[in-house]
């Protein structure tokens, strides 16, 4: 936009006969317009224009949702029902994480008991988990 404004100012000065600009080549006066066009092509090619439009649309959607929630009495900041739902979701996520960790421990123990004999030297334990303490009998 700045390049277009500069181009318009230079064009008006050249047509009005303002002395330093009136003697310039028309290429010099038209250069800001060409640079603006090149900038727009670059911005479109890199997706800057589309991303900015999407950001504006997402902001409008979020604002509309917030207005609707407030109008329905479901303001996220004050609604106890929404807070309760969020707490339930967090608790479920913690439970799921605990189940996954327990399952992983069970798998590790299964691998350890299935593939490593009880009288192993402790060499394989260093790759699966904690090493066994030395027995002192030369193993």
Cα gap 131→122, rounded to integer Å: 6
Tally the C-alpha atoms within 13 A of residue 23's C-alpha that lie toward its C-beta: 2
Residue 123 has pLDDT above 80, yes or no: no
What number is the average pLDDT over the span 67-74? 79
What are the CA-CA distances from residue 102 to residues 42, 81, 105, 109 (Å)?
A: 53, 31, 5, 11
Q: Which residues contact 112 (CB under 8 A, 6 or more apart)?
A: 125, 128, 129
C-beta atoms surrounding 69 within 10 Å: 15
Ranges 67-76, 91-100, 123-132: which has the least confidence: 123-132
Give the tens place of pLDDT for each residue, 1-47.
Answer: 899 999 999 899 999 988 888 888 889 889 999 999 999 888 888 88
Question: What global pTM score does this model have?
Answer: 0.40
Average pLDDT, the chain: 79
Cα gap 41→102, rounded to integer Å: 55
Phi, psi dihedral angles at 74 (to 5 degrees): -110, 40
């Amino acid at each position: 936009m700045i390049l277009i404004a500069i181009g318009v100012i230079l064009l008006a000065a050249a047509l009005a006969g303002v002395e330093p600009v009136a003697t310039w080549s028309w290429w010099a006066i038209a250069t800001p317009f060409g640079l603006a066009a090149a900038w727009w092509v670059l911005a479109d090619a890199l997706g800057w224009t589309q991303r900015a439009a999407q950001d504006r649309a997402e902001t409008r959607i979020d604002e509309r949702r917030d207005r609707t929630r407030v109008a329905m009495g479901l303001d996220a900041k004050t609604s106890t029902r929404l807070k309760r739902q969020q707490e339930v979701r967090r608790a479920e996520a913690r439970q799921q994480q605990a189940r996954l960790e327990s399952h992983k421990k069970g798998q590790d123990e299964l691998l350890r008991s299935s593939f490593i004999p009880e009288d192993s030297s402790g060499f394989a334990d260093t790759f699966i988990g904690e090493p066994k303490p030395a027995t002192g009998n030369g193993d």
